[in-house]
């Protein structure tokens, strides 16, 4: 992996349960609570929001990973103190705000999944744009057996990925999916051998960081909204977004380089 170019101090102040580093145009954020299987407490969630809302200039992509043997085992259940309904709604909204900074933030996010990707861990992974799974990864939504419900945006983000029926199955039965099953149903885009996830994610992130910034923005912010809109609105939004992208000076320079045979053609990988 490339040498870290700047110290983590350039990022927002983070709790010790999160670690950040920079490798050129790629930032890496690690969930750093391995003794608790990277269970998410309120301090970590606030730190995630701060990190993604205040990325330094020059960052073009982020890799989200977990220290130790697991990505994240989900909500730290010791934080489920007695709350009235209003406090419970506010707590869920705090997770929504944090994870929205991942999904609709400044730059694309590549998540590296290994070991437990459970409950809230699966919800934060679903907010990323690309998910790379190692073969050790396994997925579960055990909320049904614990008498709770997803609260980090999973009911919005997971059905478009795997279907409502599959999410119902996972929540009602406690079913655990393997890395291969998650890949098969569309939960992840890449499946690699154990230990190879971070390198694959960094390679993808470097390529993404080299894209035209407006194209990355449009893919992150416009594509999901177009997909959720009615066809007429979707076509209109697509046309407008396409016209803006083509008018960008960087797009014109890249297209000219391609026409002048100074840019590589698409080939079979």
List residues with catalytic annotation.
123, 143
In angstroms, rounded to a whole number, what is the distance separating the alpha carbons of residues 30 and 14?
Answer: 11
Q: What is the DSSP string of the chain?
A: -PPP-B-GGGSPP--TTEEEEEETTEEEEEE--GGGTT-B-HHHHHHHHHHHHTPPTT--EEEEEESTT-SB--B-GGG-----HHHHHHHHHHHHHHHHHHHTSSS-EEEEE-SEEETHHHHHHHTSSEEEEETT-EEE-THHHHT----SSHHHHHHHHH-HHHHHHHHHH---EEHHHHHHTTS-SEEE-TT-HHHHHHHHHHHHHTS-HHHHHIIIIIHHHHHHS-HHHHHHHHHHHHHHHHHSHHHHHHHHHHHTT-SPPP---
The span from the first CA to the last CA of the chain, in angstroms, equals 22
């Amino acid at each position: 992996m490339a040498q870290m170019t700047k110290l983590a101090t350039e990022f927002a102040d983070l709790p010790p349960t999160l670690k950040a580093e920079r490798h050129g145009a790629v930032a890496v954020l690690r969930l750093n609570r391995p003794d608790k299987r990277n269970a998410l407490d309120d301090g970590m969630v606030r730190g995630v929001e701060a990190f993604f809302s205040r990325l330094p200039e020059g960052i073009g992509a982020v890799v989200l990973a977990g220290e130790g043997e697991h990505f994240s085992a989900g909500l730290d259940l010791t934080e489920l103190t007695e709350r009235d309904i209003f406090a419970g709604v506010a707590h869920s909204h705090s997770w929504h705000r944090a994870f929205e900074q991942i999904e609709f933030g400044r730059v694309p996010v590549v998540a590296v999944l290994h070991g437990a990707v459970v409950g809230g861990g699966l919800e934060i992974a679903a907010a990323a744009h690309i998910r790379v799974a190692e073969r050790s990864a396994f997925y579960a939504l055990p909320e049904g057996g614990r008498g709770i419900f997803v609260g980090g945006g999973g009911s919005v983000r997971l059905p478009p990925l795997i279907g409502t029926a599959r999410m119902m199955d996972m929540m009602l039965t406690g079913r655990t999916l393997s890395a291969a099953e998650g890949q098969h149903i569309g939960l992840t885009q890449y499946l690699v051998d154990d230990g190879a996830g971070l390198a694959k994610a960094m390679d993808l992130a470097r390529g993404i960081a080299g894209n035209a910034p407006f194209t990355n923005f449009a893919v992150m912010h416009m594509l999901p909204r177009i997909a959720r809109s009615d066809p007429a609105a979707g076509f209109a939004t697509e046309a407008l977004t396409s016209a803006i992208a083509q008018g960008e000076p960087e797009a014109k320079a890249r297209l000219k380089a391609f026409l002048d045979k100074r840019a590589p053609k698409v080939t079979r990988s």
